[in-house]
Amino acid sequence: MKRDEGGRSGRERFIATLDRFVFVKNGYSIWKHIVPIAIEALLLLLVSVELPQENLLRQLLKTLERKDGLWVAAAFLTVVAGLVYVATIRVQVKQAYLLSDGDRRRTACTSACYVLVCTLIAYVVLRSVPSVHTSFEVAWACLLLGLLSLTGIGWSGPGSWVESVGVKSPDYTEGRLAAKDIAEMLSTLRSQARGSVGDVQGFAEAVETVRSSIKTNLAHEPVWASGQLEEIHDRLYTLTEQIKKHFPIDDESAVADFPTACRYQGEAQHAAFISALRALVEYWPEWSFDKQR
């Protein structure tokens, strides 16, 4: 099996490319969304050739076919359900990825993908009824039921079973917050003439929090995604060691130079620290001195 420079097979490269657009990771989102709904759809098809009149999908279709003002409420429900689902996916994406550069892309593509799949499943179920013909109302009913299913209303199955069988998604919430704090710290430090012990300690603790977040979540990462995270982890470790070496808190003069080094100045004295900090700008551009000026 051919592998690239990072040791990934062709299958892993394909998944990694797909994951740039759709929340794939270790299959968490697939298990969480499609499987419960697909199982219930198949059960529904097996137990009845014709959907019972009290079925939610039939009730939605009847409501949308009426000519009174109820379609306004249905339209409002469709919009709200869509927004709730997109917001839910956005939260899941932000938790599952340490770096934020693909948040919007993954949220949009993942939401569109699962809404389409669930709408089609609802359409297949509804089309099992001989008397139902394709129409705008049918498409709308299927879309609305798909959205309600994805948001946990109507015919959706329990989502907690995914975690129960051991499929877990990484949670980088703390790491992301710490990375944001580091960007704010750097912006403040670079405007200061002198540093303090609190500046050095706060910065070092935030770096360690990001590193700890990676270490904790690596067990939940697929093999193809762990390589980059391990590299980031190693670079953060190098930065931590350089902070300890160049800015010991018991050395007042060294601590005072911390803002200067954060501005990439004094390279002769703090070259290793500056190099370690610059190595992480590749992943967090907002840490760059050029971006903050």
With beta carbons less than 8 A apart as the criterion, state whether 220 and 170 touch: yes
Confidence at residue 122, expressed as pLDDT on a 0 to 100 scale:
79
Q: What is the mean pLDDT of residues 217-233?
A: 92
Q: pLDDT at residue 46 above 60?
A: no
Confidence at residue 239, expressed as pLDDT on a 0 to 100 scale:
97
- Map residue 27 onto helix, strand or coil: coil
Say how many C-beta atoms besides its own lie within 10 A of residue 231's C-beta. 14
Q: pLDDT at residue 43 above 60?
A: no
What are the residue ranges spanned by the domains of the chain?
10-164, 173-292
Of 24-38, 244-258, 266-280, the least confident: 24-38
Among 1.25.10, 1.20.120, 1.10.238, 3.90.1480, name the CATH number for the domain at 173-292: 1.20.120
Most confident segment among 152-161, 248-257, 265-274? 248-257
Q: Residue 227: exposed, middle, or buried by beta-carbon count in 10 A (0-12, 13-18, 19+)?
A: middle
Q: pLDDT at residue 245 above 50?
A: yes
Confidence at residue 159, expressed as pLDDT on a 0 to 100 scale:
55
Q: pLDDT at residue 280 above 50?
A: yes
Between residues 248 and 51, the one the model is more confident about = 248
For the stretch 3-23, pLDDT in tens is 455 556 778 888 889 899 999
Which of these, 159, 17, 190, lies nearest to 85 by C-alpha position? Answer: 159
Q: pLDDT at residue 2 above 80?
A: no
Q: pLDDT at residue 54 above 70?
A: no
Buried-state track 68-97, b at ≥16 Cβ within 10 A, e below 16: eeebeebeeebeebbebbbeebbebbbebb
Confidence at residue 110, expressed as pLDDT on a 0 to 100 scale:
92
With beta carbons less than 8 A apart as the criterion, state whether 206 and 217 touch: no
Q: How confident is the model at residue 182 (pLDDT cuts 50, 70, 90)?
A: very high
Q: What is the mean pLDDT of residues 73-78?
A: 89
- Map residue 49 onto helix, strand or coil: coil
- On average, the pLDDT of the chain sits at 84
Q: Pull the structure tokens for residue 94.
A: 């932000």
For the stretch 93-115, pLDDT in tens is 999 999 999 999 999 999 999 88
Confidence at residue 42, expressed as pLDDT on a 0 to 100 scale:
64
Q: What is the mean pLDDT of residues 126-151?
A: 78
Confidence at residue 188, expressed as pLDDT on a 0 to 100 scale:
95
Q: What is the mean pLDDT of residues 73-95?
A: 91
Which of these, 253, 236, 235, 254, lies nearest to 245 by C-alpha position? Answer: 254
Confidence at residue 50, expressed as pLDDT on a 0 to 100 scale:
54
Q: pLDDT at residue 154 above 60?
A: no
Q: pLDDT at residue 158 above 60?
A: no
Of 21-25, 146-150, 182-186, 283-287, the least confident: 146-150
Confidence at residue 1, expressed as pLDDT on a 0 to 100 scale:
42
For the stretch 183-213, pLDDT in tens is 999 999 999 999 999 999 999 999 999 999 9
Element (H, E) at 280: helix 267-281
